[in-house]
Amino acid sequence: MSIRIIDYKAGNAPSVMMAVRHLGYEAEFARQPQDIAGATHIILPGVGSAKATMDSLGGMGLLSALEDSVLRDKVMFLGICVGMQILFEHSEEDDAHCLGWLEGHVVKFDTAMVRVPQMGWNQVKFVKETQVTTPGDGYFYFVNSYFAKPDNESDIWGVADYGGDFTAAVCRGNIHATQFHVEKSGETGLGLLDSFLEIH
């Protein structure tokens, strides 16, 4: 097993590393393309904006390496928070062009309906089975002003309610991603992370 956590300026890599090590796994940070070579699991944390994340990944030369590993070699991938949002084609946040691995776009919560950002615990209902074991309904920690709207309903893994249902997690094959922070979601989040890392 070779776990790599993408470490970029706008990310939350140290907190994710602490969670991975708490679960008893060894992992290394990836800061350049060659760091991803041979990885069995790649985690892309996210804090900040979609554009800043894309700019950081591009500046580090990681975009092609990530695409090769995840899309071509089918390495297990977990995106967290903004790491989930940039999987889609476009984000309203700073009019950012994103990875486009999944069809759809990212929009802002309606500020006339809810306080932005959503900050705190929210219940997630998982609506399809994947390789990752999840609670039927569990509470996870969110910090987000934007959310993804997948074009393909089959990509939706979990939903939550914040002024209406929104996509809280997505999955397609080896690609898993959560809008919530697994590393800040107590035993429930650690359980999900552990299940992801156990997949070979």
> Which residue in 92, 103, 183, 200 is the catalytic one?
183
To the nearest whole number, what is the mean pLDDT of the chain?
Answer: 95
Examine the pLDDT at 10 and tell me if it is beyond 90.
no
Active site residue 26: no
pLDDT score of 135: 79
Q: What residues does 165 pair with on adjacent strands?
A: 161
Active site residue 90: no
| Structural domain of 91 | 3-198
Active site residue 98: no
**Reduced to 3 states, what is the DSSP secondary structure of residue 85?**
helix
Query: pLDDT band at 11, cuts 50/70/90?
Result: low
CATH number at residue 126: 3.40.50.880
**Reduced to 3 states, what is the DSSP secondary structure of residue 17?**
helix
Tens of pLDDT, residue by residue over 122-156, are 999 999 999 999 877 899 999 999 999 999 999 99
Q: What's the whole-number mean pLDDT along residues 22-33? A: 96
What is the token pair recorded at 131? 């390789």
Query: pLDDT band at 54, cuts 50/70/90?
Result: very high
Cα 4 to Cα 21: distance, rounded to the nearest angstrom? 12
Torsion of CA 170, 172, 175, 179, to 10 degrees: 0
Q: How many domains does the chain have?
A: 1
Q: What's the whole-number mean pLDDT along residues 69-97? A: 97
pLDDT score of 196: 98
> Which residue in 22, 41, 181, 187 is the catalytic one?
181
Q: What's the whole-number mean pLDDT along residues 91-99? A: 96
Torsion of CA 24, 172, 56, 116, to 10 degrees: -90
Q: What's the whole-number mean pLDDT along residues 12-35? A: 95
Predicted structure pTM score: 0.96
> Which residue in 41, 81, 171, 176 is the catalytic one?
81
